[in-house]
Amino acid sequence: MSLGEAKGGSAPIAAVGTALPSQTRSPERKSSVSRALDERGVINASHQSLALRFSGSPEYGPYCTSGVIRPAHDRGVFLVRMRTMEKRYQVFVSSTFLDLIDERRAVMQALLELDCIPAGMELFPASDEDSWTLIQRVIDDCDYYLVILAGRYGSLDATGVGYTEKEYDYAVESGKPVLGFVHSNPGLIPAKHTDVDPQLREKLAGFRKKVQLKQCKSWLTPGDLGTAVTTSYARLIKTHPAEGWVKGRYAKTTEDAEKMTRLLEQVRILEQELSALRTAGVRDTSMLAQGGDPVTLKYRVEAASQGELREITVAWNAAFQVFGLACIELASGLDLYRRLSAWIADHFERGKTSVSITERSMDKLKLQLYCLGLIEKRIIEVAAGDKAQPVSVWALTDNGRIALADLVAAKKGMRVTPQ
């Protein structure tokens, strides 16, 4: 894989020599909608409720309280389709090579276990001017920079500066978050892995002091080094969050952001038009049965199809209260059936568990409350693996929320006399 491919956005370059899945940079700026979709999770649905593992985005529509989807605006249809997007960070590993083969292997292993993309330039010649240009490009593409120092200063460029130090200086000047790891006891390093030239020793000592001025850890063995990298990196990504890489199918381009902005504006306009149409289309419901007017409901005791058929007469407000409390959190038809059956059992059948409201009575309740403008039906799409599954739910309208609050909300002035 060429660096040009990595720079172009197909995939980052990896020092381990393995082609990674197609990935690309996430954009420098994201809308709050994109952040919500990228970072906050996947919706899980059941017939009982729609549990949500993210706080949501008012700009997108639904928001979440106590793990349940709630619509920010009344809509006949709204879509929720989310998948968790994982970022991976690319880390440039800088050091001399031949004297630190085992140490570099330990660092690469630690980074891979952290789901990072290690990058290094040991496969490129150090004396070629084009190689330095390549090194700069790879560092630019990386999110973090890591340097390992032991007993050697390394090869020098034409100005007498070591390439490892030159890489370090470039990373610092570029604003990359830097992690330094220096050998804790250079006297224990084998002679074949140390510099003999006094000038190189002096340069190495100066470089060590420079690295130790920033975030730095010491190590003695390759195992120590791998552990230090793991703990230091975990802290670094919290204090210095970086841009990261994402899979190509999750990437957001400038065109995507502009398209999202246009779509959001269209949604806003359509919502205004829908609200105006609803307001203009409201008809007089004073002639419809409601409030304290009676309604007769039929239900069966024992088996749902063969049990004894009974009936009760209650006020419409009583039935609506059961519906409304269920619809606060969005309710499926099965949710409403169970709520009504349980309510009848508790209030009229002394808690019997084998009570089932008839389908005709359920339909009568839904239709009347719908015509009164208290409830409405919605279709949402819920992520189920790689597919989106449509789910039909019932929800309160604005008028329904107001009516329910009038029925069940505690009123001021109601005092309890101590016993």
Q: Does pTM surpass 0.75?
A: no
Domain 291-407, classified CATH 3.30.160.620, yes or no? no
The rounded Cα 181 to chain-centroid distance in angstroms is 33
Residue whose C-alpha is closest to residue 362's, from 384, 333, 404: 333
In angstroms, how far apart are the furthest CA atoms of the chain? 102
Q: Tell me which of 351 and 38 has the higher pLDDT.
A: 351
Inter-residue contact 313 to 326 (CB < 8 Å): no
SS3 label, residue 148 = strand
Residue 407 has pLDDT above 80, yes or no: yes
Residue 27 has pLDDT above 80, yes or no: no
Burial class of residue 233 in the structure, from the number of CB atoms within 10 Å of its CB (0-12 exposed, 13-18 middle, 19+ buried): buried
Length of the chain: 419
Confidence class for position 250, pLDDT limits 50, 70, 90:
low
* DSSP, res 43: -
Tens digits of per-residue pLDDT, 69-112?
334 333 333 333 334 457 889 999 999 988 999 999 999 999 99
Between strands 62-65 and 308-315, the pairing is unpaired
Question: Percent of the chain beyond pLDDT 70?
Answer: 72
Between CA 214 and CA 180 the distance in angstroms is 7
pLDDT score for 129:
53
Alpha-helical (H) ranges within 240-386 are 254-281, 316-327, 333-348, 359-371
Domain 89-243, classified CATH 3.40.50.450, yes or no? yes
Identify the H or E element spanning 239: helix 222-239
pLDDT score for 305:
58
Residue whose C-alpha is closest to residue 164's, from 190, 115, 200: 200
β-bridge mates for residue 10, sequence order: none
pLDDT score for 228:
93
pLDDT score for 252:
66
- Summarize the confidence of residues 274-283 as an average pLDDT: 64
- Summarize the confidence of residues 209-223 as an average pLDDT: 93
pLDDT score for 128:
52
CA atoms within 13 A on the CB side of 201: 9
- Summarize the confidence of residues 139-162 as an average pLDDT: 93
pLDDT score for 197:
93
Mean of pLDDT over the chain: 76
- Summarize the confidence of residues 20-35 as an average pLDDT: 39
Domain boundaries, given as residue ranges, for the chain: 89-243, 291-407
